[in-house]
Structure 1
Amino acid sequence: MKRVRVVVLGAGVVGFSTAVCVAEALPLCSVTVLAERFSPDTTSDGAAGIAFAAEFPDIPLERQRRWFKDSFDHLLAIAQSQHSPDAGIMLSSGWQIFKEVPAKKKPFWSDFVIGFRTMTDGELKRFPDHRFGQAFTTVKCECSSYLPWLEERFRKAGGRVEQRKVNSLQELSNSFDVIVNCSGLGSKVLVGDTSVYPVRGQVLKVEAPWLTHFIRDGDGKTYIYPGMHSVTVGGTRQEGDWRLHVDQGDTESILERCSRLEPSLKKAKVLSQWVGLRPSRRNPRVERETVELQGRTLPVVHNYGHGGWGVTIAWGTALDALGLVRQCLKEMPHQAKL
């Protein structure tokens, strides 16, 4: 039987999650990950990688709940296994705090994280500018470890990896039978999606081993996330900003804001600074379409536009994308059926 050739475009957390799901579930497919950049040079590599979510306006809440739960359960299982240090996934407890009481005191994902509750007045005393808070335990995923771990898992499932720039889907028409597009911000050019835009994020890694709890301001701009080897502090959310160089003004602002929440950070040594562009969209695009490429009709499954929530929902959207690939296979001519 002829193997169905599947290509996954993109080697970030969404691309490799999708590639692993397809390669492990559909062993009769030959799966190739094709990307210009791999870890440690992807946007995912610098992500703070802590799992909780924003609500997307036009996607049914049930689907968003499934994306979150599937991803959280997947990451939690790794965090509680012997793979935890290699995969860079750990449990993380802490607080999300708000200057004003939010309209929804219990977000849709609160049932899936561990021990979610409203903070007490006593706990809030240390944050005098904030009026409301949530305490919970979630998972933190360090993609600089997780991506190589996923890549190894993908190769074990028979997957192939190729590093090159793809300028157009036309280039792939003769080599593959199904295209899975996880190219993030690259989809702006690759599939002409004008609704994708960058949200610039700058973060610092600091040495502060005494910090064990995360603190996140509800506006998403100021956060402190202790990790396995350092603490990530941030950040910025600059929409439509394509600058990839470190901005000294942003660095000073980040340190000043984070030190206000956690005064001991004034004693922390800055280890590194990083900038990444979140591939944002009003809603992530997880759907399929059929395209004509050089006289050949090919199915394309899209899975991109996660913004700053890539790590949080990557596995959930990857399972959805796997379902779409299965549909594509069912509709193929008989000789390609699995």
Structure 2
Amino acid sequence: MRSVRVVVVGGGVVGFSTAVCISEALPSCSVCLLADRFSPDTTSDGAAGIVFAAPFPDIPLERQKRWFKDSFDHLLELAQCQASPDAGVILSSGWQIFKDVPAVKKPFWSEFVIGFRFMTDGELKRFPHHKFGQAFTTVKCECSSYLPWLEKRFRKAGGLVEKRKVTSLQELSDFDLIVNCSGLGSRTLVGDTQMYPVRGQVLKVEAPWLKHFIRDGDGQTYIYPGVHSVTLGGTRQEGDWRLQVDPAEAESILERCSRLEPSLRKARVLSEWVGLRPGRRNLRVERELVLLQGRQVPVVHNYGHGGFGVTLAWGTALDAVGLVKHCLNELPLQAKL
């Protein structure tokens, strides 16, 4: 029996999570991951990596809950074991604050994070322009450590990694099964015009005295303390392809964050970063058959996570494994021999 040849396209957090899950769950598969960029040059690397979510409009909430819970449980386990420093996964406590009371006070993920509660009036006093807040402990995943750690785990499971730009699925016709985790690249790779960039700009600053995250509920302003620095954000510019740092935006980020946490005026800026989140109205985790070189090849898609790649990667990866299993059961016998 020769192993089934599976290729995963994409070297970000979704690609490597999916490649690890497939190679560990299906040892009969020979898994190769292809990407033109790897850590530290992926969009995932710049992500603040704090785990929480906003719902996608047309996906059953139960499915989204499962994605969130599976990812949270996986990362929580890492945060609490000896692999934590290598994997770059830590516990993070703090507040999400709102200028107006939101329509949904308890988000769908509130039952999975630790100690979710509404903030007291006393706690809200330090944020005089905000009327409502949520306090909870979640996990923070630093992809500059987590991606190399996942790659090591993937190679240990027998996976192969190759640096290569894939511009068309036709180039992959010699594989038995394709898993597409190309994020924003799916716009050209599979012609998905629903994909659009959501530009994000952040600063990393030195402020070791800060231990708690603060996130404005509008998603525009946030302060996320990490292992080596504090991430300050941000921007959410849909349809904006600019990858250059905008000095005016950097100034605005620093000003907005300092209003929430005045001590940041004493922080030293370490670096500035811009990335394009893979925006899509609904995340896509599904399978289809594609005609490549006269042969029907199963393709499993796992992309369109927007700003929630780190939050949902492991959960959608497990979903993708289920779809891969379905495809393997339907593969013609010669592909398995």
TM-score (norm 1): 0.99
Superposition map of 1:226-237 within 5 A: 226-237=225-236
Q: Distance in 1 between matches of 2:159 and 2:173?
A: 19
Secondary structure of 2:150's partner?
helix
Identify the residue that residue 135 of structure 1 maps to in structure 2: 135
Q: Which string of whole-angstrom CA distances, capped at 9 and with x for unpartnered residues, describes residues 171-192 of structure 1?
A: 1102x10000000000000000
Aligned partner of 2:83 in structure 1 is 83
- 1:71 is the counterpart of 2:71: yes
Residue type of the alignment partner of 2:119: M
1:190-209 equivalent positions in 2, closer than 5 A: 190-209=189-208
Note if contact 1:329-1:336 (Cα within 8 Å) is conserved in structure 2.
no
* CA distance in 1: counterparts of 2:313 and 2:119, whole angstroms: 29
Matched residue, 2:247: 248
AA matched with 2:216: D
**Deviation per CA, 1:235-285, whole angstroms, max 9, x where unpaired?**
000000000000001100000000000000000000000000000100100
Secondary structure in structure 2 of the residue aligned to 1:161: strand
Indicate the residue corresponding to 2:331 in structure 1.
332
1:278 aligns to what SS in structure 2? strand
Asked if 2 retains the 8 angstrom alpha-carbon contact of 1:330 and 1:337, the reply is no
2:104 is aligned to 104
Q: Provide the rounded CA distance (Å) in 1 between the counterparts of 2:6 and 2:332.
A: 16
| DSSP-derived class of the 1:23 partner | helix
Are the aligned partners of 2:179 and 2:302 in contact in 1 as well (CA < 8 Å)?
Answer: yes
Given residue 309 of structure 1, which amino acid in structure 2 is its aligned partner?
Answer: F
CA distance in 1, matches of 2:271, 2:162: 29
1:88–1:143 contact (8 Å) kept in structure 2: yes
Q: Do structure 1's residue 296 and structure 2's residue 289 form an aligned pair? A: no
Structure 2 residue aligned with 1:162:
162
Matched to 2:71, the amino acid is S
Deviation at 1:48, TM superposition (A): 0.3
Q: Which residue of 2 aligns with 1:55?
A: 55
The one-letter code of the counterpart of 2:313 is A
Q: Which amino acid aligns with 1:56?
A: F
Unpaired stretches in structure 2, ≥5 consecutive residues: none
Q: Tell whether 2:188 aligns with 1:189.
A: yes
Q: Give the match for residue 279 of structure 2.
A: 280
Asked if the contact 2:205–2:231 (Cα under 8 Å) also holds between the matched residues in 1, the reply is yes
Deviation of 1:337 (Å): 5.0
Structure 2: distance between partners of 1:167 and 1:196: 16
Q: TM-score, normalised by structure 2?
A: 0.99
- Cα distance, 1:137 vs structure 2: 0.1
Superposition deviation, residue 2 in structure 1: 1.5
Deviations 1:214-234 (A, max 9, x none): 000000000000000000000
Cα distance in structure 2, aligned partners of 1:7 and 1:131: 49
For 1:19, the equivalent position in structure 2 comes to: 19
Gaps of 5+ in 1: none
CA contact (8 A) 1:11 1:42 kept: yes
Q: Secondary structure at the match of 2:316?
A: helix
CA RMSD of aligned residues (A): 0.8
SS at match of 1:136: strand
Counterpart contact for 2:8–2:180, Cα < 8 Å:
yes
Equivalent position SS for 1:225: strand
Q: Number of matched residues?
A: 337
Counterpart check, 1:10 vs 2:10: yes
- What's the CA shift for 1:334? 2.9
1:332 CA displacement: 1.0
For 2:166, the aligned partner's letter is V
The residue number in structure 2 matching 1:178 is 177
Q: Distance in 2 between matches of 1:64 and 1:38?
A: 27
1:43 maps to which residue?
A: 43
CA distance in 2, matches of 1:11, 1:165: 11
Aligned position for 2:113: 113
Letter in 1 for 2:155: R
Q: Distance between the aligned counterparts of 1:320 and 1:58, measured in 2? A: 17
Cα distance in 2 for residues equivalent to 1:171 and 1:311: 28
Q: Distance in 2 between matches of 1:14 and 1:52?
A: 16
Asked if structure 1 preserves the Cα contact closer than 8 Å seen for 2:176 and 2:335, the reply is no
Report the alpha carbon displacement of residue 62 of structure 1 after superposing the two structures with TM: 0.1
